[in-house]
Chain A
Amino acid sequence: MVQAELRGDMPGVTTNAEFCERLRRRLLAQPEKTLLRVTVAPDFERPIEFTAKALLDRAEELASSFGITKERSVVLVLLPHSPELFLLQLGLVLKGHIPAILAWPTSRVDPEKYKCNLVHQLNHLPADLLITLPRLAENLAGSLPYPACGMSLANGASFEKIFPAAPVSERLGNRKSPKRNGCPNPDALFLQFSGGTTGAQKAVVVTAGMLAHQLKQLGEVLQLSDADVVVSWLPLYHDMGLIACYWLPLWHGAASVQIAANDWVINPELLLKYAARYKATFCWLPNFSFSYLSQRGEQMQKHSLGSVRAWINCSEPVRCKSVAEFATTFAGRGVKKESLQASYAMAETVFAITQSEPGRELASVPRSCVSHENRACGELAFDLIDDVYVSSGKPLPDTEIKIIAVDGSKCPDFAPGEIHVRTPSLFSGYWGAEGFQTHSLNGGWHATGDFGFIAEGELFVIGRFKDIVIVGGNNIFPEDVEAVVNSVAGIHAGRVVAFGVEDQEFGTQGLAVVAEMKGEFNEDAALQLETTIRKLVLTVIGTAARYVSVVPQRWIVKSTAGKISRRETRERFLRDRFSPG
């Protein structure tokens, strides 16, 4: 029966109970197989291992240990990379609850400011329970409209050092509790945050039907089987980490090796070492990782990487230079050009919309072949400047894509416009401060806000209308950064602009902030303000700003309608900062 399911002969999953039942059956088909390996610093030589049976047992046992009595509870999970985090995500789903994983902060944040911001965020999320480290749970107790439950981790002490043993100083008193608009959705399996950090957090509601459809279709395209091994450094709060690197292998009975993002960033060789050791066959990476690994490649040991069938570039626009560097650097270690693959994905469709064909080199199109007429360049928040565009592959089966021009007409091949998508994996709404809000779709189509074109059935993503900044695969909303900086005393509230600046070296973006100083401009005071802004952005947003510029009043460019223009301010910043002379 399991084989029939894997072949796709079984009817589709629609309910949570069906999903969980099938998952259990799939996992127990090979109970003694090692399915999950989680590395825990500092002992990188011995990852914590779970067989399929142990994974199921431990996951359910752990989820039960919190004594959650209310059915279908929304449980926020705020924990660092640890075996328990992986167990909880699975266990809470199997127990019929709805987990939502929040991003763990970097160790560089100001603890008091971080906690105040966290209380502010959490007060806007209509959950039933927060599970976090004991010291943080204790500090937050009394500041939230729901209980905060402490959970000890074997490696928790090093993370708890971030938080001094003191309660949150900013009590929010009688602040209005968020609306509990019932359960996010009757079939909600879990929630995936899609961005937002300053109280505007919203999560995509992933149902059993959406997830099962995505896992089946993506598995088929990749020809994934229980013989495969996924190696990942991507965090579980990111859709690529959660869906491609955790749920996908689980559903197909394949193994995965999970490394902490922080450990990988400082020691990228870990990924290749584990890929070689466990004969990994799949590895998903944001574009910058390809450049980064290539740059460090010479200093790494000669790990044998020939087992990897697909290195999948996803979460950032695919850049020809990054892919080519990787292929050249690691060719001698078994990386074949045809193993370099790409995918276009977003949390709103659970994950993948397109996937390139494994075993075939990525298609590319010279920039000169693309029709740039009527492309409304001026509207774009991001525009890939490469000479060659790289394909993100074809739509998954049952997934449709169309490209829509500014006038609403459908674009022909090679003519760019906004990417619209329709798929059974498409979300129906967000869960956030106002509870569950249905997202309106036009005939089942979702306008992605991304800019691209289709050529011979393949999608090429080349820009963005929406003002999201993508730093190393992480989405940052400029509005969040601007809201944070607006609160700085000495900064002219409402006169702050955040945007992305290209990082050619790593094939990603850096975050930039321009803020106008209140009153008369003063160099020393500007420097002080810049320092304050940098610290605050790092603490609240979790990513350091690459550029911070405190400028005199009226520096920021307004449109003719008197509205602040992010695009023109960015252009002025780039001219001032990077133009010769």
Chain B
Amino acid sequence: MMPESSTIRTAAREAASQIAGRPIKEGQRLVTSGLIDSLSVLKLIGLLERKLRITIPPETLQPEDFDDVDLIVETVERVAKPHA
């Protein structure tokens, strides 16, 4: 079962903060601001998958889909699949 939006949001904020090495605020740009690099986006995806027990299929995704907490939540809800 897919986690609820609020759970995804909390996990997204935690994961982004962990990757960026500082607390991330709502609306704060991660990728386009240069706060996290391409490889860190991949780490962010891995972290979200582990925290939420989901798989994020990468087809059609771009680093910009993870540019802030809102976008991460939206992206996860749009494409992620729960672990069986």
* B-contact 0/1 string along A194-214, CB 8 Å cutoff: 000000000000000000000
Contact A544 B36 (CB under 8 A): yes
Please choose the segment from A143-151, A240-248, A265-273, A342-350 that sits at the chain B interface, where 4 or more of its residues have CB less than 8 A away.
A265-273
Contact B46 A535 (CB under 8 A): no
Is B33 part of the contact surface with A, judged by Cβ < 8 Å? yes
Q: Which of B11-41 contact A (CB under 8 A)?
A: 21, 31-41
Is B2 part of the contact surface with A, judged by Cβ < 8 Å? no
16 A-B residue pairs with Cβ-Cβ distance under 8 Å, sorted by A, are A108-B64, A266-B62, A267-B58, A267-B61, A292-B42, A299-B55, A503-B39, A510-B37, A534-B33, A535-B33, A539-B34, A544-B34, A545-B34, A546-B36, A546-B37, A546-B40
* B-contact 0/1 string along A338-376, CB 8 Å cutoff: 000000000000000000000000000000000000000
Is A251 part of the contact surface with B, judged by Cβ < 8 Å? no
Taking chain A's interface residues, is the majority helix, strand, or loop, or is none over half, making it mixed? Answer: mixed
Which of B36, B38, B60 has the most A CB atoms < 10 Å from its CB? B38
How far is it, in angstroms, between the C-alpha of A511 and the C-alpha of B59 when the chains are bound? 28
In the complex formed, the residue of A with least CB distance to B43 is A505
Number of interface residues of A (CB under 8 A): 36
Q: Give the chain A neighbours of B58 by CB distance below 8 A.
A: 266-269
Q: What is the CB-to-nearest-CB distance from B82 to chain A, in angstroms, rounded to a whole number?
A: 13
Q: A267-B61, A299-B55 are in contact. Are A471 and B33 (CB under 8 A)?
A: no
Q: What is the CB-to-nearest-CB distance from B16 to chain A, in angstroms, rounded to a whole number?
A: 14
Q: A267-B58, A267-B59, A269-B58 are in contact. Are A295 and B46 (CB under 8 A)?
A: yes
Is A328 part of the contact surface with B, judged by Cβ < 8 Å? no
Q: What is the CB-to-nearest-CB distance from B61 to chain A, in angstroms, rounded to a whole number?
A: 5
Q: What is the CB-to-nearest-CB distance from B22 to chain A, in angstroms, rounded to a whole number?
A: 9
How far is it, in angstroms, between the C-alpha of A534 and the C-alpha of B40 when the chains are bound? 14
Q: Give the chain A neighbours of B64 by CB distance below 8 A.
A: 107-108
Q: Give the chain B neighbours of A186 by CB distance below 8 A.
A: none
Q: Give the chain A neighbours of B61 by CB distance below 8 A.
A: 266-267
Q: Give the chain A neighbours of B21 by CB distance below 8 A.
A: 547
Contact A265 B34 (CB under 8 A): no
Is A543 part of the contact surface with B, judged by Cβ < 8 Å? yes
Q: What is the CB-to-nearest-CB distance from B83 to chain A, in angstroms, rounded to a whole number?
A: 10
Q: What is the CB-to-nearest-CB distance from A473 to chain B, in angstroms, rounded to a whole number?
A: 11
* B-contact 0/1 string along A97-117, CB 8 Å cutoff: 000000000111000000000
Contact B39 A288 (CB under 8 A): yes
In the complex formed, the residue of B with least CB distance to A543 is B37
Is A506 part of the contact surface with B, judged by Cβ < 8 Å? yes
Which residues of A approach B to under 8 Å, CB–CB? 42, 44, 106-108, 262, 265-269, 288, 292, 295, 299, 471-472, 503, 505-506, 508, 510-511, 531, 533-539, 543-547
How far is it, in angstroms, between the C-alpha of A141 and the C-alpha of B62 when the chains are bound? 31
Q: What is the CB-to-nearest-CB distance from B67 to chain A, in angstroms, rounded to a whole number?
A: 8
In the complex formed, the residue of A with least CB distance to B65 is A266
* A-contact 0/1 string along B37-79, CB 8 Å cutoff: 1111111001000000001001111111000000000000000
How far is it, in angstroms, between the C-alpha of A535 and the C-alpha of B40 when the chains are bound? 16
Contact B60 A545 (CB under 8 A): no
Contact B39 A506 (CB under 8 A): yes
Q: Give the chain B neighbours of A299 by CB distance below 8 A.
A: 55
Q: What is the CB-to-nearest-CB distance from A1 to chain B, in angstroms, rounded to a whole number?
A: 46
How far is it, in angstroms, between the C-alpha of A42 and the C-alpha of B61 when the chains are bound? 10
Besides A265-B38, A268-B58, A534-B33, 13 more A-B contacts (Cβ < 8 Å) are: A106-B38, A107-B64, A108-B32, A265-B42, A292-B39, A299-B55, A534-B34, A539-B34, A543-B37, A543-B38, A544-B31, A544-B35, A545-B34
Q: What is the CB-to-nearest-CB distance from A451 to chain B, in angstroms, rounded to a whole number?
A: 24
Q: A265-B42, A299-B55, A546-B40 are in contact. Are A42 and B60 (CB under 8 A)?
A: yes
Q: Give the chain A neighbours of B31 by CB distance below 8 A.
A: 108, 544
Q: Give the chain A neighbours of B62 by CB distance below 8 A.
A: 107, 262, 266
Q: Give the chain B neighbours of A511 by CB distance below 8 A.
A: 37
Q: A266-B62, A299-B55 are in contact. Are A510 and B39 (CB under 8 A)?
A: yes
Q: What is the CB-to-nearest-CB distance from B81 to chain A, in angstroms, rounded to a whole number?
A: 10
Q: Give the chain A neighbours of B55 by CB distance below 8 A.
A: 299
Contact A537 B59 (CB under 8 A): no
How far is it, in angstroms, between the C-alpha of A536 and the C-alpha of B32 when the chains are bound? 10
Contact B34 A538 (CB under 8 A): yes
